[in-house]
Amino acid sequence: MLILTRKLGEGIRVGDDVLIKVVEVRGTQVRLGIVAPRSVTVHREEVFQMIRKQNELAAQTAPATLEGVAALWKSSPTAKSGN
pTM: 0.65
pLDDT tier, 75 (very low <50, low <70, confident <90, very high otherwise): confident
3-state per-residue secondary structure call for 33-73: EEECCCCCCCCCHHHHHHHHHHHHHHHCCCHHHHHHHHHHH
How far apart are the C-alpha atoms of 4 and 11, rounded to whole Å?
10
For the stretch 13-71, pLDDT in tens is 999 999 999 999 999 999 999 999 999 999 999 999 999 999 998 888 766 777 778 88
